[in-house]
Amino acid sequence: MPLAPVPIPRRFEGRSVVVTGAGTGFGAEIAVRAAQEGARSVGVHYRSSVEGAKRTAGRVAAEGSTPVLLQADIVAWDQIKAMAEAAFERLGGVDVLVNNVGDVAREQMSWRDITEESIDHILAVDIKGTMLCVHEFGARMLEAGHGAIVNIGSTVIVRGSARAPQYAAAKYGLLGVTKSYAHAFAPTVRVNVFAPGFIETPMTDVLPDKVKEELKTRIPLGRMGSPRDVAAAIVFLASDEAGYITGHVLNVNGGMHLA
């Protein structure tokens, strides 16, 4: 007999949240979950997917929160500075930042296909971009006297990636960014990493059924995670319930990598 749906708590009541890359995928679900948990305003960041960002904003508004669109290329420091300033002004301060933007080099099928261009791009987006966001938003949170930051990692930090070593290198680097700023910002601003395993997304939807079934046999909980699983865990890590957690990696992978 399936379990009844778990009621959504209100852990962000009255708070403001910014989610990078919120026009599509995980980012959109995180932004909507923040609204469902009572956030008074949600910053919906996008680089080029303005239509996706508008759709997310509509969903956020439907949950009773005020959406604020924020556009920036996260690898450009001047744009991140401007976005942070705009976010703090337009949202009336920022209590939570979720750094969701990242690239997985999904077009690369083997380590043999790696290119210098791909290495530069992945490291720029996944390390430099996230670090800039942590730096600029975190500095302003320090001035405000509070805040929580969650960086999106991957279980690739446990298993590595024979397919795309540059992606694994970037996510390992993100651990250094997180731990460094967790020390630098303590005790005022918490900084953590959320590391998801295989999650149901448009990217996994295109996998052959045989591949998806084989993946499930490697997951002790017997299924891939859902966007709801991702959003709920991230919101927990950014909430007061995780108030004694900083510099930590929360692996959410159904037990696939027990480490």
What would the CATH number be for the domain defined by 16-199+228-251?
3.40.50.720
pLDDT at 153: 87
pLDDT at 220: 65
In the residue annotation, 172 being an active-site residue is answered as: no
What residue ranges do the domains of the chain occupy? Answer: 16-199+228-251
Cβ-contact 130, 177 below 8 angstroms:
yes
pTM to 2 decimal places: 0.90
Query: In whole angstroms, what is the distance from residue 252 CA to residue 94 CA?
Result: 26
pLDDT at 5: 67
Cβ-contact 152, 100 below 8 angstroms:
yes
pLDDT at 111: 78
pLDDT at 203: 56
Residues of the chain falling short of pLDDT 50: 1
pLDDT at 21: 94
pLDDT, tens digit, 9 for 90 and up, residues 181-240: 999 999 999 999 998 766 665 555 555 666 666 666 666 666 666 777 788 889 999 999
Q: How far is CA 12 from the centre of its chain?
A: 17
Residue in 167, 172, 181, 244 annotated catalytic: 167
List Cβ<8 Å contacts ≥24 apart for 201-205.
201/25, 201/26, 201/227, 202/25, 203/106
User: Which residues lie below 8 Å from residue 82, measured CB to CB, with a gap of 6+?
Assistant: 72
pLDDT at 1: 43
